[in-house]
Structure 1
């Protein structure tokens, strides 16, 4: 009889083992990445405010979601700084730099859009995603 009860016991993960996120954690990680699209509603700063809000709310209760929101925050700060640099080049060159900054700005927008979607899909699948070429300003 003792053998039967032991056969139905689910194995518990080791304390050091990484457990795949499920349910709410994946959903909040997805929201952490996709909240960057609030930039279309709240001008450019929404791309930073969305992930920042998710990170501040969920970093202590849902570790995977907090990590992914922080990653999205760092990526969006990096993209915002790159966009700001393009504006500065345009202003310093009295508009002549537009020949360079407009194509670079369009490439930066495409980069932001594609990698935000890739990160959201990975987070929804429970995979930790790290954006390439990102400054890690928020630790």
Structure 2
């Protein structure tokens, strides 16, 4: 006889939105924009409906932004193209978490704009 215990996942769009907005800690404190969403995702991915999808999206987005920054730094020597790309990454890194927080609050899937899929 096999007994399986299944735990019902709760729907918490507010926590999903807060997880997206926690990425903005980079702009406020200079750090934490990767660690805080990672902790929130790992702590509640099995308890909150949609957290696994949103958490993976956040981590993939943060890793993509880091990669774009690392590519942009040496590109500064190429006619200043790196400066333009750093400005673009800075704007994108500020706007997309807000857009995804609104989507999460409305129960929608996160936007994957310019996000490389590192974690499937």
Q: CA deviation at 1:54?
A: 1.2
Q: Which residue of 2 aligns with 1:15?
A: none
Normalised TM-score (structure 2)? 0.79
Unaligned runs of 5+ in 1: 1-20, 91-95
Tell me which stretches of 4 or more aligned residues in structure 1 moved more than 6 Å: none
Deviations 1:55-94 (A, max 9, x none): 111111113123212211111110111011112334xxxx
Q: Which residue of 1 aligns with 2:52?
A: 66
Among candidates 65, 80, 94, match of residue 79 of structure 1: 65
Q: Which residue of 2 aligns with 1:112?
A: 93
Number of equivalences: 111
Who wins on radius of gyration, i.e. which is larger? 1
Q: CA deviation at 1:134?
A: 1.1
CA RMSD between the two structures: 2.0
SS in 1 for 2:34: helix
Q: Which residue of 2 aligns with 1:32?
A: 19
Normalised TM-score (structure 1)? 0.70
Unaligned runs of 5+ in 2: 1-9
